[in-house]
Amino acid sequence: MRDRLVLLPGWGLGVSPMEPLAAALRGLDEHLHVEIEPLPQLDSGDLEDWLDELDERIPQEVWLGGWSLGGMLASELAARRGEQCCGVLTLASNPCFVADEQWPSAMAGETFDAFLAGCNADPRTTLKRFALLCAQGSADPRGLSRLLLGGAPATAPTVLMAGLELLAQLDTRPALQRFRGPQFHLFAGQDGLVPAEAAGALFTLLPDIEMGLIEQASHAFLLEDPHGVAGAIQAFLRECDDD
């Protein structure tokens, strides 16, 4: 099923931000079957629980992709599946969302802890703040954040917290090093959540993978510039077909 791409969304905002990208990809290649798979609605922050559910729901031998947290989960699932995965692509997705000594190109731990506490106290306000951070760096941050929030589903606070707990602990570097299939990682130059420097750090770690950077774009570049992101993905998939 090399003509099938399954995309996973990011934290908290549901599948709506992915829909313009999926439509743009279908417009570029009528033979490419693009699907958006919602993230699991789990109270658990355990990675294996999330991967077990995704592994059960998503067919084998497809391309796996995702935005932000969705890209991290796609990377982990690709490594779990090995040769049963056609390849993996991530969009504005940092191997480590929270910075540490080994991976400083990420969100500061203190900032993330404050975000976690805010979500625990007031999930709705925290989701609004998150949407603004996603849109930071775009031409119209407030308009883009309203678009992001407009399609956000009503998610239980326990599920939102579990997703943040998962984000805090995820480190996809071993998974990406283990996975032998094609990889493409696309970053945004004005990203308010994933520093653009993460692209260089990842390329240093894995010099044989395909990388891209859309310089004048925010974390929500898949909604801000779906055709630009779709074009970059399509170029990668074509290159893999030629190989």
Report the alpha-carbon distance of residue 124 to residue 9 in Å, rounded: 19
* pLDDT per residue rounded down to tens, the chain (243 residues): 579 999 999 999 999 999 999 999 999 999 999 999 999 999 999 999 999 999 999 999 999 999 999 999 999 999 999 999 999 999 999 999 999 999 999 999 998 998 899 999 999 999 999 999 999 999 999 999 999 999 899 999 999 999 999 999 999 999 999 999 999 999 999 999 999 999 999 999 999 999 999 999 999 999 999 999 999 999 999 999 876
Answer yes or no: 16 catalytic.
no
* Closest C-alpha among 226, 223, 56 to residue 147: 223
Answer yes or no: 68 catalytic.
yes
What is the total count of domains within the chain?
A: 1
* Closest C-alpha among 80, 75, 93 to residue 52: 80
CATH number at residue 53: 3.40.50.1820
Selected catalytic residue, list 145, 191, 218, 225? 191
Coil, strand, or helix at residue 64? strand
Selected catalytic residue, list 68, 75, 93, 218? 68
Amino acid code (one letter) for 62? V
Answer yes or no: 241 catalytic.
no
Selected catalytic residue, list 93, 145, 218, 219? 219
Q: Which domain holds residue 155?
A: 4-242
Q: What is the pLDDT of residues 37-74, one digit of tens each?
A: 999 999 999 999 999 999 999 999 999 999 999 999 99
